[in-house]
Chain A
Amino acid sequence: MVRSLLLLLFCLACIVVSRSALSSNDFKGREARSDGLAAWQQVYSVLTSPRCINCHTATNYPQQGDDRHHHFANVIRGPEGNGVPGLNCVSCHQSANAESTGVPGGRNWHLAPLSMRWQDENDQPLSSAVVCHSLTDRTQNGGLNAAGLLKHNEEEPLVLWAWNPGRKQDGTMRTLPALTHAEFVAATRQWIDAGMPCPR
């Protein structure tokens, strides 16, 4: 009699234990995803800031300025994203910011390929979901896996440029993205750790 009771109690305890374990995982999973999405929103807020999105266009031209207007002098994408002979990106953009003349610069200044566009053809930023999918699709993102994405955001010179964008002609500093670079990297890492979730 006592043995059956003990067995029942044990079973009950097991059930209780296992159920709470289940819901704990489940809870962790949901929490992880929502943390990951929050981290993604932070990443997205940087990607769609003018310093980044101005060169991630869907058109054959870059944008410039905080108001993201059509870049002057009819500069265009060209077959390789670096302009055309006579009018290359590097015709004006040197390997570092030109403080005295107000032209931003960085190593290998060029447009992101069309597969990495973060705007539509009316110059409107694409939604968070679309950009997220594009970033995690290895056929669009230059073949980067998670580690590659993290390294890109941490070390790529043109990415780093966004936090050292130089002065405009009038001497004022260009505006920075909403996060610091360190915060941007941390958010990237958090998003990656959460399995790179994308909004639906």
Chain B
Amino acid sequence: MVSLYLDFPASAQEGGQAPPAKIYPPDAFIHIRPDGKIVIQVNRVEVGQGTHTALPMILADEMDADWSQVIAELAPAADVYKDPLIGVQWVGGSTAIANSFPQYRELGARARSMLVQTAADRWRVKPEQCRTASSIVYGPGNRSVRYSDLANEAARRPIPDKVALKNPSEFKLIGKPVRRLDGRAKCDGSHKFAIDLDLPGMLIALVARPPVFSGKVRSFDDKEARAVPGVRDVFEYPLVKGSAVAVVADKFWIAKQARDRLKVDWDLDGIEHADSSRLFAQYKELAKTPGGVALKRGDEMAIDRIPESQRMVAEFEFPYLAHAPMEPLSLAVRFDGDRAEAWVPAQLPTWEQIATAEVLGLAPEQVKFNVLFAGGSFGRRGLVDSHLVREAAAIAKRVRGRPVKLIFTREDDMRSGYYRPMFVHRVEVGIGSDGAPLAWRHVVVGQSFVKGTGVAMEAMLVKNGVDHLAVEGSSDSPYAIPNVDLTAHHPTVNVPVLSHRSVGYGHNSFVRETLIEELADRAKADPITYRLKLLNKDAYKFRAVLTLLNEKASWRTRLPAGHAVGYACSEYNNTACACAAEVSIANRRLKIHRVTVSVHCGLSVNPLTVESQFQGGIGFGLTQVMPRGAITLKEGRVEQGNFDRCTPPYIADAPADIDVHVVQSTEPPTGVGEAPVPIIAPAVVNAIYHLTGKRYRSLPLIEL
């Protein structure tokens, strides 16, 4: 997910303490039904991260609502649902709780205030004589009235400017383990994802895409395709780059059979046929020369003065990664000439509504944009170029008058690009006599999904030609290294790329944490102590998590034979975390027995969510090391098409035990969706060194 900040990331979330500038109207977020149910609008798509429960918890707590009556809905695209700090409606950067915590508190508090005022007026008493609990206002002399009986009147009141928020000691929901609101429906088959959408008259579209990115249709023969009963139309339409052929039919299987019979002659001339091996070789050459400056500190020549015996050079290779959410991409659009409606599991509703309107020749307000639940995303549905809605709208425009659901098969999804880019890092470290790194010269090479796109955030993120998202983890390293020379190159490659859960930290933290542990091993120091000693003075969250880890991972001194432990720490959007992983190798297969994790995320709004995101994020982060976890290209073609060739962790690959420990804190809450992802790969690789003597710097771990 993308990190978008108005200020630079280091200081961004101090803003979390300031109240939002805007006053949000409660009635856009809260609807109290006559039967007592309270429907709360969530201004973020739910992709599994738990905000569908956590944000309503925040509001319901301040409102003193009866939690058992709360229903949460995903808000459609609208100005009022924009992120209060970022200014667009979006999910990304682990910002939901951080940015909307004060907002949702205020919404709940305002609603409560208006309800109390209404009751007080009715009873002709002062609001201070009333109290609230569980959707009821209680007044003096045993008086009480339900929120649902006050709602209509309360809604007509003016919205108060100021409201008092609860003292955290009064929280009834915030900070408590609360089970997910969408849990039961996801266990009984009733829950609907975007791919489950069913509308009257709906048609299904499948698309034959060019086998090389940016390819276009030269000609196609649809005679056999059209002969399949239930096929409605077959036509070419433009992609963001190149073109494709859509097959529109009554049902999925019909569309698939027709597409299988389609013969397309692709024009693949004049476009780059990207090849992973070739790219790695090119990147490694580039990494030998400095690029655009990301960070310079101290003396850039310092490293050259350090004796050879005290220097190391390390090269790292990271492949393309597919997001591969369990629910393949899908979305629906209906175009009616003067208006349209879209149903999209969108991370960026504001932009996607605009893009849909653009393709259809409408104003954004003429597009009703519904946000649906997503079966995972990891960034795949956060589209800078809005390519999905552009495609769906183009198809809907042609079909006209009926909703069309565009579905990607798993193969389409996996081959569709928008990957986490491949990266090469070259690091030279000069080691001081105390075993600490004295000088660090680091070149990062990899595509930027922001540079050159002209999007709003480009100016913020790209400085000196360096995309911050490619170097985060290195540019903001928590370690006090006096001399740093960090630069980056961003080659242009004909492979579309995108942010991927934990973005730059995914590879930068791997480089940093494997090298740091190697230095610790070299200095014969305990890896946790070594890190603590090396931390910047102001890296207090890192200090807290490493200290907590030291306490909670006491098992590390009592490992059975054939087991080893490795460590790593990382951060995302002001949440810091660290882990110790216990590992063994049997039959050349990696087995992770246990991971102990510590995290500082300020106040934990929902401890159940925090734990699940950390357990899940670590499992997700393991994909990077799985032997078949990568996407590779050969002569322009993606070599993997399904989970048989691009294989994420199954249950046996994931740690059987992951215990999560949260630093007790009353600081404002920070997000947890992405922080855990980068730590497991370096921890595991660090442990493997003790079992095999090898330091792996190239992912994935194809062979042990």
Binding site for B on A (CB under 8 A): 72-74, 171
A-B CB contacts (within 8 Å), total count = 7
Q: How far is the CA of A74 from the CA of B643 in the complex (A)?
A: 12
What does DSSP make chain B's interface, helix, strand, loop or mixed? loop
Cβ contacts under 8 Å, B644 to chain A:
72
B652, A74: Cβ atoms closer than 8 Å? yes
Cβ contacts under 8 Å, A74 to chain B:
650, 652
B260, A72: Cβ atoms closer than 8 Å? no
Chain B residues 532-560 with CB under 8 Å of chain A are none
Could you jot down 7 A-B contacts, CB within 8 Å?
A72-B643, A72-B644, A72-B647, A73-B650, A74-B650, A74-B652, A171-B260
Give the interface centre of B643, B644, B650, B652 by most chain A CB atoms within 10 Å: B644
A93 to chain B minimum Cβ distance, whole angstroms, is 16
Q: How far is the CA of A43 from the CA of B508 in the complex (A)?
A: 57
Cβ contacts under 8 Å, B643 to chain A:
72
Cβ contacts under 8 Å, A171 to chain B:
260
A66 to chain B minimum Cβ distance, whole angstroms, is 15
A168 to chain B minimum Cβ distance, whole angstroms, is 12
Cβ contacts under 8 Å, A72 to chain B:
643-644, 647
Cβ contacts under 8 Å, B647 to chain A:
72
| Interface 1/0 per residue, B639-652 and A, CB below 8 Å | 00001100100101
Cβ contacts under 8 Å, B652 to chain A:
74
Cβ contacts under 8 Å, B260 to chain A:
171
B211 to chain A minimum Cβ distance, whole angstroms, is 13
Q: How far is the CA of A98 from the CA of B650 in the complex (A)?
A: 26
Chain B residues 641-669 with CB under 8 Å of chain A are 643-644, 647, 650, 652
Q: How far is the CA of A171 from the CA of B256 in the complex (A)?
A: 13
A64 to chain B minimum Cβ distance, whole angstroms, is 9
Closest to A65 in B: B644
Closest to A71 in B: B644
A68 to chain B minimum Cβ distance, whole angstroms, is 14
B414 to chain A minimum Cβ distance, whole angstroms, is 14
Q: How far is the CA of A171 from the CA of B647 in the complex (A)?
A: 23
Q: How far is the CA of A74 from the CA of B653 in the complex (A)?
A: 10
Q: How far is the CA of A11 from the CA of B644 in the complex (A)?
A: 79
Q: How far is the CA of A72 from the CA of B643 in the complex (A)?
A: 9
Closest to B256 in A: A100
A183 to chain B minimum Cβ distance, whole angstroms, is 33
Q: How far is the CA of A72 from the CA of B650 in the complex (A)?
A: 11
Cβ contacts under 8 Å, B650 to chain A:
73-74
B643 to chain A minimum Cβ distance, whole angstroms, is 8
Closest to A74 in B: B650
Closest 4 CB pairs of A and B: A72-B644, A74-B650, A74-B652, A171-B260
A167 to chain B minimum Cβ distance, whole angstroms, is 12
Q: How far is the CA of A91 from the CA of B424 in the complex (A)?
A: 42
B348 to chain A minimum Cβ distance, whole angstroms, is 34
Give the interface centre of A72, A73, A171 by most chain B CB atoms within 10 Å: A72
Chain B residues 561-578 with CB under 8 Å of chain A are none
Q: How far is the CA of A145 from the CA of B644 in the complex (A)?
A: 41
Q: How far is the CA of A73 from the CA of B643 in the complex (A)?
A: 9
B200 to chain A minimum Cβ distance, whole angstroms, is 29
B634 to chain A minimum Cβ distance, whole angstroms, is 17
B637 to chain A minimum Cβ distance, whole angstroms, is 14
Q: How far is the CA of A67 from the CA of B650 in the complex (A)?
A: 23
| Interface 1/0 per residue, B612-655 and A, CB below 8 Å | 00000000000000000000000000000001100100101000
A135 to chain B minimum Cβ distance, whole angstroms, is 29
Closest to A121 in B: B587
Closest to B411 in A: A169
Cβ contacts under 8 Å, A73 to chain B:
650
B443 to chain A minimum Cβ distance, whole angstroms, is 37
Closest to A171 in B: B260
Closest to A64 in B: B644
A120 to chain B minimum Cβ distance, whole angstroms, is 14
Q: How far is the CA of A115 from the CA of B647 in the complex (A)?
A: 32
B90 to chain A minimum Cβ distance, whole angstroms, is 36
Closest to B647 in A: A72
Q: How far is the CA of A162 from the CA of B652 in the complex (A)?
A: 32
Q: How far is the CA of A72 from the CA of B641 in the complex (A)?
A: 14
Closest to B645 in A: A72
B453 to chain A minimum Cβ distance, whole angstroms, is 36
A131 to chain B minimum Cβ distance, whole angstroms, is 25
Q: How far is the CA of A186 from the CA of B10 in the complex (A)?
A: 78
Closest to B628 in A: A72
Q: How far is the CA of A72 from the CA of B260 in the complex (A)?
A: 24
| Interface 1/0 per residue, B472-503 and A, CB below 8 Å | 00000000000000000000000000000000
Q: How far is the CA of A70 from the CA of B3 in the complex (A)?
A: 40
Q: How far is the CA of A74 from the CA of B260 in the complex (A)?
A: 29
A74 to chain B minimum Cβ distance, whole angstroms, is 6
Q: How far is the CA of A73 from the CA of B644 in the complex (A)?
A: 8
Closest to B652 in A: A74
Q: How far is the CA of A145 from the CA of B647 in the complex (A)?
A: 45
Q: How far is the CA of A171 from the CA of B257 in the complex (A)?
A: 12
Q: How far is the CA of A73 from the CA of B647 in the complex (A)?
A: 9
Q: How far is the CA of A74 from the CA of B650 in the complex (A)?
A: 8
Q: How far is the CA of A74 from the CA of B648 in the complex (A)?
A: 12
Chain B residues 246-303 with CB under 8 Å of chain A are 260
Q: How far is the CA of A72 from the CA of B647 in the complex (A)?
A: 9
Closest to A59 in B: B587
B635 to chain A minimum Cβ distance, whole angstroms, is 19
A125 to chain B minimum Cβ distance, whole angstroms, is 20
B484 to chain A minimum Cβ distance, whole angstroms, is 44
